[in-house]
Amino acid sequence: MALIKWQFLSMLALLAAFLFETRTAYNWAYLMLILFFGLRLFQRRLTEQIAVRRLTPQLSLFPGEQKEVVFQVENKSRLPFAWISGLDRIPTDLAGTRPKKGVFSLPGRSRVEVPALLTARQRGVYVLGPIEIFIGDFFGLSTQRFLVDDPQTVLVYPRIYNLEDLNLTSAAVIGPITAQKRIYPDPTKLAGVRPCQAGDPLRTLHWPATARTNSLQVKQFEHTVNVTCLLLLNLDRGDYESKKHHLQTELAVSTAASLSAALLRSGAALGFAANGVLTRRLAQEKINLTGSGPILRLRPRQGTAQLVQILTILAGIETQKKVGFETILAEQSRRKGSAAFLFLVIPKDSVEIVSRAEELVRNGYRVHIFVAGSKIRHPRLLHRPKEAPLQIFTAREKEGARL
């Protein structure tokens, strides 16, 4: 029966009270009016005094991590709410256990916190919310439903492996750094001595050699080199095997993340470029991408902040089929001197890519190719000497690496 019928009956009760003028009839009519009119209107008015807010700040997780997110419901009025239920809409890939609805009774001027457990399983950019709130009275006369649209972005970074867990050695990443671009003489690397010439600073005199040769000798230092690296990730869908697309993509992204972490930890300045597309949800994040066009690029920088930037991009990057990896490589060979090391993370070592890599080597780069998950087609480039400018490695997740 609709509520209007009960409201009509309330009016009849009031009419009866007016006609028969009995206290009991009046009391009854008043009670009915309070219940079927007053309470409903009052409840509606009260709901304006409910405030829902999230208490957890911006979240970023690594796969396997768990984190509790909390939203708070506050009753700002002095009057109680019979019951309120709240449920935060959590994406399935992020829900720890099945998200549970929180039910509570809120006295006046009180607040309650509703927690939910997040478990990061899969890299990505997720949005929590909206929060669904039901508010009811004591008698079930009116239940109101609200959707509180206070979205919160949760970044799940790609898994970062130790290099050994990807069947890689640290030598594969850092390698013997040979200078392509000299910065200044490194005082820690004495290359030898030479006779003093006009203009040589006095502090570079090598006194033992001067004494020995009885003529002024100055130290000759090796030049320090820039250890600027560039990591290039191939996310051209056409290069991935359709059957293993998901697994291969995730391995490539994780390999890129692990290499970035290892390089930046070693103090190198690392840049990043990929031919993927960013998920729309990542738009709110502060990423200092350079240039425009189909290729995502990050300028080489050092430190944790750079790693955060790269991981953020990798959290929300997806494959695409418009821009081939060769485009990036061709563009790179035109940008001479921007980096000394190139780390290519690719799903397969196609002939085109390897020939482009060889061209880059001819232009003075050192190129390490990491093939994520598939068989190597250029075995000649495997197990080469450390100093070889072009090498190829296979990145494969070791068994038990995730444990």
Partner 1 sequence: MIQLPISSVQKFGQKMKENISRVIVGKEMEIKILLAALLSGGHVLLEDVPGVGKTILARSLAISFGGTFSRIQCTPDLLPSDITGVSVYDQKLNDFVFRPGPVLAQIVLADEINRATPRTQSSLLEAMGEGQVTVDGVTYQLEQPFLVLATQNPIEYEGTFPLPEAQLDRFLVRLDLGYPSLEEEDRLLHRLQKKHPIHELTACTDPTQVAELQNAVTEVFVEDSVRDYIVRLVQSTRTHSQVRLGVSPRGSLFLLRASQAWAALSGRDFILPDDVKKMAVPVLAHRLRLKTRTELRGISAAGIIEELLAAVAVKAEPKIETDL
Partner 2 sequence: MMIKRFLPFGAALASFCLVSLTGQYAALFVQGWSFSSWLYPLLFTAALESSYFAAYFLTPQVPLLGRVLELSLFLSPLYFLSAGSKALAVESLLVGGAWLLARGYGRQFAEMEIKSAYLSDYPPSAINWEYESLESKGYGAGPAVEYFWRRFFAFGSGAVVLAIIAERSNFVLDSLTRVRLGVLTTGSLFCLLVLQTGAYLFRLQILWEYAQAKIQPGLSRIWLKSLSVFLVVALLAVNAAPVNYSPFSLEKIGPRLAGFLQRILEGPALKREAGSDFPAAAGGPGFLPPPSEAEPSWWIAVILLIYLLSAGGIVLIFFLILLGFLIVEFSKKELGGLRGLPKLAVRVFKALKRVWQKLTGAAWAEPEENVFSPRPAGVKEEFLFSRLRFSSWPEPRNIRAQFRRMVRLGRKKGVSFRADHTAGEYGFCLQKKLKEGKNNIALFIAGYHRVRYGRDRLGPNEQSKIMALGSDLIKEIKNLGKEE
188: partner contacted, choices partner 1, partner 2, none (Cβ within 5-8 A by kind): partner 1
Contact code string over 247-266 relative to partner 1, x by CB under 8 A: --------------x---x-
CA–CA separation, 348 vs 328, rounded Å? 16
Instruction: Based on the shown chain and the rule CB under 8 A, indicate whether residue 177 belongs to the binding site for partner 1.
Output: no
Instruction: Based on the shown chain and the rule CB under 8 A, indicate whether residue 303 belongs to the binding site for partner 1.
Output: yes
Three-class SS state of 15: helix
> CB-based contacts of 197: which residues, under 8 Å, 6+ apart?
218
CA–CA separation, 250 vs 257, rounded Å? 10
In the region spanning residues 353 to 392, those forming contacts with partner 1, defined by CB under 8 A, are none
Q: Quick one: CA torsion of 341, 345, 349, 351, rounded to 10 degrees?
A: -50
Residue 403 exposed, middle or buried by CB count within 10 Å (0-12, 13-18, 19+): exposed
Instruction: Based on the shown chain and the rule CB under 8 A, indicate whether residue 302 belongs to the binding site for partner 1.
Output: yes
Number of continuous H segments (helices) and E segments (strands) in the chain: 9, 20
Task: Figure out which of the listed residues 108, 267, 294, 337 binds partner 1, where binding follows CB under 8 A.
Answer: 267
Least Å from the CB of residue 121 to partner 1 = 17
Instruction: Based on the shown chain and the rule CB under 8 A, indicate whether residue 203 belongs to the binding site for partner 1.
Output: yes
Least Å from the CB of residue 135 to partner 2 = 10
Q: Are 296 and 319 in contact (CB under 8 A)?
A: no
Contact code string over 61-90 relative to partner 1, x by CB under 8 A: -x----------------------------
Element (H, E) at 250: helix 245-265
Cβ closer to partner 2: 107 or 291?
Answer: 107
Least Å from the CB of residue 330 to partner 1 = 28
Least Å from the CB of residue 101 to partner 1 = 28
Which of 224, 164, 216 has the alpha carbon at shortest distance from 191? 224
Q: Are 271 and 298 in contact (CB under 8 A)?
A: yes
146: partner contacted, choices partner 1, partner 2, none (Cβ within 5-8 A by kind): none
In the region spanning residues 90 to 129, those forming contacts with partner 1, defined by CB under 8 A, are none
Q: List residues near partner 1 by CB under 8 A.
A: 60, 62, 157, 160, 183-188, 203, 207-208, 210-211, 224, 261, 265, 267, 269, 301-305, 307-308, 311
